[in-house]
Amino acid sequence: MSTTLWIKKPLSTFTANQQDASNGIVIKDGIIIELVPKNSEPTHDIDQYFDATQHILLPGLINTHHHLYQTLTRAFPPALNKRLFPWLQALYPVWAKLQPDMLHAATELGLSELLLSGCTTVADHHYLFPEALTEAIDIQVSAATLIGNRVMLTRGSMSLGEKDGGLPPQSTVQSDAAILDDCQRVITQFHQRGDGAKVQLALAPCSPFSVTTDLMIETAKLARHNQVRLHTHLAETEDENSFCIKTFGLRPLDYLESVGWLSSDVWLAHGIHFNDQEIKRLGVAKTGIAHCPSSNMILASGVCRTKELQAAGSPVGLAVDGSASNDGSNMIQEVRQALMINRLRYQADEVSHLDALYWATKGSAQVLGRDDIGELAVGKQADLALFKLDELRFSGAHDPLAALILCGAHKADVVMVAGEWKVKSGYLMDHDLADMQARHSQAAKKLVL
């Protein structure tokens, strides 16, 4: 029998839509059925309640770009203190040895780490398909089903190896035909449609300089035929801009438009080095941007022009990026990073903790093309993250919601996905984290041998 649950009287609430849920929300069958305003009681009959008087209530956080396999190569000495291209060249030979059990362990651990930080939906960009790992998406679906986050798994691709002027080893690239065939297979087998989807697929060439022009064009055609989204890295560094000009005679965005990708069904990772005219074009097209603050700082890539992109009409979401260019998979910490790095570009009164929270919730949902998650509103999915302010770092704080970000929250107390509790009292339910971590650590050591 279904029950009606009241998340009762939270300490503070962020709805991402300026609606009043000061006295909480009511949930039934995995859906939010009522927002309870200040000084009000629910209008529905309540079967159960959760006392949230010590909790800050947020929509579940949404990570718009990750590489979960990279949890196996965090703080990897040969890749430290390098720019993007040398960093990739140091890591590609290691990643080329990835095995199925390693990817499963990496996906399982990364999703768990994210869930514990309040992240209920994860977009992962997997583009490595060596001979031992041709069914990588199948492995990730299996791991995601175990952990319980919603996932947008992007079937990545690389078709230009070192002998063709690309960066990755030949063992990690596939032919255009093999890539397109598998893209269709995984869409048919795994992609769910409609509100409440737990597993969705998108198509995602790694970058414009790691695949052929034909593959960019054909991938877009295939995605639109199947009504799925498109994703790639773009304009992450000035080196990338120079590479595109040298290779194609075009800046990255011009190249993207030439292959039919400047569109509202596309989102781009990083999107740092766009000029004013390009930002206007992105806004007109409604192309989304996954802002990756920590990764951009570690690789010294630059600062995304988030406010200009938003003002132009581009959805802006938040992402932790790969765990080798961030070295963590923590979404609530990424919200703080987003606030801080944007304060280097904008004035203190131009970007706030509320902007950063919006990017991590409703903004990220828009980037992924979803209108059923990312906010607290009637009819939306009951994906929630609740945080306590009971650590030393929060003592003396006067604005609970601001303190969550400014004082550096790093873990959720309770997390719900589709109306089901996945984290309680800061622990992932029904999982042996010690065993998970041991298997993951063993896989990481084996990978770098």
pLDDT in tens, 109-140: 999 999 999 999 999 999 999 999 999 999 99
Band of the pLDDT at 216, cuts 50, 70, 90? very high
- Written as six digits, the tokens of 391 are 């650590």
Q: What is the pLDDT of residue 165?
A: 78
59-280-306-62 Cα dihedral, nearest 10 degrees? 30
Cβ 42 vs Cβ 5: under 8 Å: no
Band of the pLDDT at 167, cuts 50, 70, 90? confident
Say whether both 306 and 353 belong to one domain: yes
Q: Rounded to the nearest 10 degrees, what angle do helices 100-116 and 433-448 cross at?
A: 130
Among the residues of 228-305, which ranges form H helices?
238-248, 252-258, 276-285, 293-298
Report the CATH number that the domain containing residue 206 is assigned in CATH.
3.20.20.140
Say whether both 328 and 248 belong to one domain: yes
Whole-angstrom distance between the N-terminal and C-terminal Cα of the chain? 52
The mean pLDDT of 277-283, rounded to a whole number, is 98
Q: Which run of H or of E encompasses 89? A: helix 84-95
Q: What is the DSSP string of 3-28?
A: -EEEEE--SEE--SS----TTEEEEE
Give the closest residue to 325 by CA, choosing from 302, 290, 294: 294
Task: Give pTM, 2 decimals.
Answer: 0.98
3-state secondary structure of 414: strand
Mean pLDDT of the chain: 97
The mean pLDDT of 364-391, rounded to a whole number, is 98
Say whether both 68 and 41 belong to one domain: no
Say whether both 36 and 78 belong to one domain: no
Percent of the chain topping pLDDT 90 = 94
Band of the pLDDT at 283, cuts 50, 70, 90? very high
| Residue 309 CA neighbour count, 13 Å, CB half | 27
Say whether both 362 and 412 belong to one domain: no
Measured between alpha carbons, how far is 388 from 428 in angstroms, rounded to an integer? 16
Q: What is the pLDDT of residue 159?
A: 96
Cβ 393 vs Cβ 85: under 8 Å: no
Measured between alpha carbons, how far is 188 from 331 in angstroms, rounded to an integer? 30
Band of the pLDDT at 208, cuts 50, 70, 90? confident
Say whether both 390 and 401 belong to one domain: yes
- Written as six digits, the tokens of 246 are 């040298």
Say whether both 18 and 90 belong to one domain: no
- Quickly tell me which residue has 């800046």 as its tokens: 251
Q: What is the pLDDT of residue 163?
A: 86
Among the residues of 260-319, which ranges form H helices?
276-285, 293-298, 306-312
Digit-coded pLDDT (tens) for 140-149: 999 999 999 9
Band of the pLDDT at 358, cuts 50, 70, 90? very high
Percent of the chain topping pLDDT 70 = 100
Report the CATH number that the domain containing residue 402 is assigned in CATH.
2.30.40.10
Say whether both 79 and 215 belong to one domain: yes
Measured between alpha carbons, how far is 327 from 320 in angstroms, rounded to an integer? 9
Give the closest residue to 422 by CA, choosing from 391, 384, 390: 384
Beta bridge pairs of residue 428 = 423
Give the closest residue to 119 by CA, choosing from 155, 153, 147, 156: 147
Q: What is the pLDDT of residue 169?
A: 87
Q: What is the pLDDT of residue 194?
A: 96
Domain membership of residue 234 as a residue range: 61-367
Band of the pLDDT at 436, cuts 50, 70, 90? very high
Say whether both 133 and 211 belong to one domain: yes
- Written as six digits, the tokens of 52 are 């949230």
Q: What is the pLDDT of residue 117?
A: 98
Last residue of a domain, one of 332, 367, 402: 367
- Written as six digits, the tokens of 286 are 């409604």
Say whether both 263 and 316 belong to one domain: yes
User: Which strands make up the sheet holding 48-51, listed edge to edge?
Assistant: 31-35, 24-28, 4-8, 48-51
Give the closest residue to 415 by CA, choosing from 115, 98, 17, 129: 115
Say whether both 65 and 51 belong to one domain: no
> CA angle at residue 251 from 249 to 253, to 5 degrees?
130
Q: Residue 164: pLDDT above 90?
A: no
Q: Which residue spans within 19-70 are E strands per DSSP?
A: 24-28, 31-35, 48-51, 55-59, 61-63
Cβ 220 vs Cβ 183: under 8 Å: no
The mean pLDDT of 381-402, rounded to a whole number, is 98
Q: What is the pLDDT of residue 255?
A: 96
Structural domain total, the chain: 2
Burial class (CB in 10 A: 0-12, 13-18, 19+), 276: exposed
Digit-coded pLDDT (tens) for 12-57: 999 999 999 999 999 999 999 999 999 999 999 999 999 999 999 9
The mean pLDDT of 396-406, rounded to a whole number, is 98
172 found inside a domain: yes
Say whether both 100 and 115 belong to one domain: yes
Q: Residue 162: pLDDT above 90?
A: no
